[in-house]
Amino acid sequence: MIWLTFINYGAWYVFIFISIFWILTLLKNREHVAGRTGRRKYPSLSVIIPAHNEEDNIEETVKSISKLNYPKRLLEIIVVNDGSTDNTKNIAMRLKKKYNFRLFNNKINKGKGHALNRGIRAARGEFIACMDADSIIEKDIMKKMLPYFDDPKVGSVTPSLKVWKKGSFLEKMQHAEYILNIFLRKMLSFIDAVHVTPGVFSVYRKSVLREVGGFDEHNLTEDMDIALRIHKAGHTIENNIEANSYTLCPNSWKTLFKQRIRWYRGALNNYYNYRHMLFNRKYGNLGIFFLPANIIAITSLVVIFAGMAWGYMRSTVDSLWKINLVDWDVQVMLGTFDLESLSLIIATPLILGIIGVLIGGFVLYKSFKMTEGGIKEHKPTYLIYLLVFPLIMMLFWILAIFHEVAGMKKKW
Amino acid sequence: MTKKRLDKEILIYTIIISSLLFFGGVFIGYNINMDRLSDIQKEINNVNSDVDNFQLQFLFFDVLGENATCPLLKDTLANINKKSYEIGSKITLAGQEGKIQDYSEQDNLIEEYSRVSVSYWLLANKMKASCESNATTILFFISKECDNKIPNPCDDQGYVLTYYKEKFGNDLLVFTLSEDVEEASVHVLKDFYNITEYPTMIVEGDKYENFVSKAELGIILCEHGMCV
């Protein structure tokens, strides 16, 4: 079984390598982390809000867009009610009178991609922002994102996406994850390898959206698909770490599970669909480096998790089996327990794990420092996030791979 | 705006730093394991000295007689008994963890431990005959052949023996011998008792092949005066 040990060690090396790469990328580009400023002319902007069963949140979303610090004559809001079965349509019709936006209604649910494309076809703006209906934005977000479009090669600019409501323990843990993703997206922008344009106020040139054919209406993760197509068409995607948008995240394990299975299956599908980009110089750093590295990194983390899970399961089963041999006389066997036996766990895998956690902790700390000035509260939660959440996400990855291989039905 | 290139300098520094961290971790783990094996070696050396001491103490019989010598021998035996069994467990546990290590070093330890166990067993039998001890001796033969079976019957038997050792303390003397070592004295005993199956226990001269459950071993020990 020595090959299993080598694979496990290899997986740790990959994790350490990629983490160190991002830390060094940050060090090299630390003076460019802050957002750019100063665009003289405001272009026309259409904000498209696809909504399916968002009666609880759509009002806040529309209100947030209406408060955008942007010339009103150049701002167009389009809401696409995508076959909602709750009160979204009625609420949207009421809000239309107050906030003066264009409303389109799909009689049946056709999916987010379709709703976005319907909005794009109707949009009059030179720039398009896509906005999930369970999200809000800060009012200066457009001013912060526009300067990046001075470069004609930029096809899209992504915001700094954070968790809107952080009440529960699960939401706080996802907040840490989103903060880490903000860091990663910024680092990716330094090497022109941003591979996802989040659905919460990513801004696109309408010409680029038309050039790439709009959103894929059958894709579970249309935000990743469109980003890869934008790169494929020769455009770049930038990021402003100071342009804040906020979204609701799952507040139960069940909804988190459903969301992550969708995300990860979507990612697997996209990696497969865009496999011709892997190691392809034509697609720059995204093709040569990031996409292959990301696949290897995910595989490594799955291997590490599977190794740990296998080890824990084997130890547990072994312990239960042995205790059963002596008719569950635990009291007698406790006499054999000593600290020295416990010290046997101090071995290379544990040491590599400690190194991994320390590096991960440093990256998390820098992420918080860049986005929120530091970790001001809930420190124990973020420590738990560091130690536990990745293991849970790796379990979700394994389940997503299983769902995909088994050909299970895809659900939004 | 010029196309962003992957910074080769960053890549080189990344390879250097991550390699330092990774191989540093592997090196620390390797050294911890080597220290562990070294500690076990020291403990074996200590037991070896105790066994030599034990042999020496037998010479007191002629000078001081049975009444004065037997308590001394029993104390020494109890001391060796505890240390010896702990060493056996440590070697087994360290091996079970399946870490990358110097397997030859571990094999050397098992060989040396087996040699010490044989000496200890011989002296324990001699002491029992001289001092009318009630201790029950068990020769416990194991083999790497057991690793091919699920569950591992040698490990399972070891666990049951540990249970009874906890119960009976110094009244139960267990001597673990590995069939895989190149130690002549172990092979002499193996041939004498015609050991062909693993695990096998020789309980006060009686042979019991393959795994013996807790209940069955309890009955066997009770037959030798050790009842729970």
Give tens-digit pLDDT for A305-351: 888 888 888 888 988 999 999 999 887 777 666 666 666 677 888 89
> Does A54 reside within a domain?
yes
Taking an 8 Å cut-off on Cβ atoms, the answer to whether A348 and B14 are in contact is no
Same domain, A19 and A44: no
pLDDT over threshold 50, residue A379? yes
Taking an 8 Å cut-off on Cβ atoms, the answer to whether B33 and A335 are in contact is no
Average pLDDT of the segment spanning A290-310: 88
pLDDT over threshold 50, residue B53? yes
Same domain, A22 and A47: no
Same domain, A235 and A113: yes
Same domain, A50 and A180: yes
Q: In angstroms, rounded to a whole number, what is the distance separating the alpha carbons of residues B81 and B174? A: 8
Domain boundaries, chain B: 10-132, 134-228
pLDDT over threshold 80, residue A4? no
> Does A111 reside within a domain?
yes
pLDDT over threshold 80, residue A1? no
Please tell me if residue B68 touches chain A, with a CB cutoff of 8 Å.
no
Taking an 8 Å cut-off on Cβ atoms, the answer to whether A5 and B99 are in contact is yes
With 0-12 CB in 10 A as exposed, 13-18 as middle and 19+ as buried, what is B31?
exposed
Which residues in chain B have their CB less than 8 angstroms from residue A2's CB? 100
Q: What pLDDT is recorded for position A158?
A: 97
Q: What pLDDT is recorded for position A338?
A: 66
> Does A217 reside within a domain?
yes
Residue range(s) defining the domain that contains residue A345: 2-26+288-405
Which residues in chain B have their CB less than 8 angstroms from residue A192's CB? 3-4
Return the percentage of chain A with pLDDT > 70, whole number: 96
Q: How many residues does chain B have?
A: 228
Q: What pLDDT is recorded for position B225?
A: 86
pLDDT over threshold 50, residue B1? no
> Does A10 reside within a domain?
yes
> Does A265 reside within a domain?
no
Mean pLDDT score of chain B: 85
Confidence of residue B214 (pLDDT cuts 50, 70, 90): very high
Q: In angstroms, rounded to a whole number, what is the distance separating the alpha carbons of residues A399 and B106? A: 40
Average pLDDT of the segment spanning A210-228: 94
Give yes or no for a contact between A21 and B19, defined as CB atoms under 8 angstroms apart. no
Q: Give me the residues of A, 319-348, that contact B with CB < 8 A.
A: 321-322, 325-327, 329, 332-333, 335-336, 340-341, 344, 346-348
Q: What pLDDT is recorded for position A410?
A: 73
Domain boundary among A203, A234, A250: A250
Which is more confident, B226 or A227? Answer: A227
Q: Could you tell me which chain B residue has the CA closest to the CA of A282?
A: B3
Give yes or no for a contact between B140 and B158, defined as CB atoms under 8 angstroms apart. yes
Same domain, A246 and A383: no
Please enumerate in sequence order all residues whose Cβ is within 8 A of that of A97, keeping only pairs 6 or more positions apart, or say none.
none
Q: In angstroms, rounded to a whole number, what is the distance separating the alpha carbons of residues B84 and B161? A: 14
Q: How far is B128 from chain A (nearest CA, A)?
A: 26
- Which among A13, A21, A190 is the nearest to B4, CB-wise? A190
CA angle A195, A230, A137 (to 5 degrees): 65
Distances in Å between the alpha carbon of B207 and those of A410, B160, B179, B227?
A: 63, 17, 16, 19
> Does A204 reside within a domain?
yes
Which tokens belong to B96?
A: 């079970």
Give tens-digit pLDDT for B136-171: 999 999 998 898 898 899 999 999 999 998 889 888
Q: How many domains does chain A have?
A: 2
Which tokens belong to A373?
A: 């000035």
> Does A276 reside within a domain?
no
Confidence of residue A126 (pLDDT cuts 50, 70, 90): very high
Is the overall model pTM greater than 0.90, yes or no?
A: no
Buried b (16+ CB within 10 A) or exposed e, A221-258: bbbbbbbbbbbbeebbbbbbbbbbbbbbbbeeeeebee
Name which of B40, B147, B156, B166 to mutate to probe chain A: the one with the most chain A Cβ atoms within 10 A of its Cβ: B166
Q: Could you tell me which chain B residue has the CA closest to the CA of A152?
A: B1
Q: DSSP 3-state assignment of A358?
A: helix
* CATH number of the CATH domain containing A117: 3.90.550.10
Q: In angstroms, rounded to a whole number, what is the distance separating the alpha carbons of residues B127 and B133? A: 7
Q: What pLDDT is recorded for position A391?
A: 83
Q: What pLDDT is recorded for position A112?
A: 94
pLDDT over threshold 50, residue A362? yes
Q: What pLDDT is recorded for position B96?
A: 59
Which residues in chain A have their CB less than 8 angstroms from residue B228's CB? none
Give yes or no for a contact between A171 and A165, defined as CB atoms under 8 angstroms apart. yes
Give tens-digit pLDDT for B68-94: 788 888 888 877 877 887 787 777 766
Give tens-digit pLDDT for B84-121: 877 877 777 666 555 435 566 777 788 888 888 888 88
Confidence of residue A36 (pLDDT cuts 50, 70, 90): confident
Axis crossing angle, helix B8-58 with helix B103-131, rounded to the nearest 10? 20
Q: How many residues does chain A have?
A: 412
Domain boundary among A201, A226, A250: A250
ipTM: 0.85
Which is more confident, B112 or A108? Answer: A108
Same domain, A61 and A149: yes
Q: What pLDDT is recorded for position A333?
A: 74
Same domain, A56 and A16: no
Q: Which CATH number fits domain B134-228: 3.40.50.1580, 3.20.20.100, 3.10.20.600, 3.40.30.10?
A: 3.40.30.10
Taking an 8 Å cut-off on Cβ atoms, the answer to whether B28 and A190 are in contact is no
Q: What pLDDT is recorded for position A162?
A: 95
> Does A277 reside within a domain?
no
Same domain, A307 and A232: no
Q: Could you tell me which chain B residue has the CA closest to the CA of A153?
A: B1
Q: Give me the residues of A, 180-199, that contact B with CB < 8 A.
A: 190-192
Q: In angstroms, rounded to a whole number, what is the distance separating the alpha carbons of residues A138 and A328? A: 61
Q: What pLDDT is recorded for position A344?
A: 67
Q: What is the CATH number of domain B10-132?
A: 1.20.58
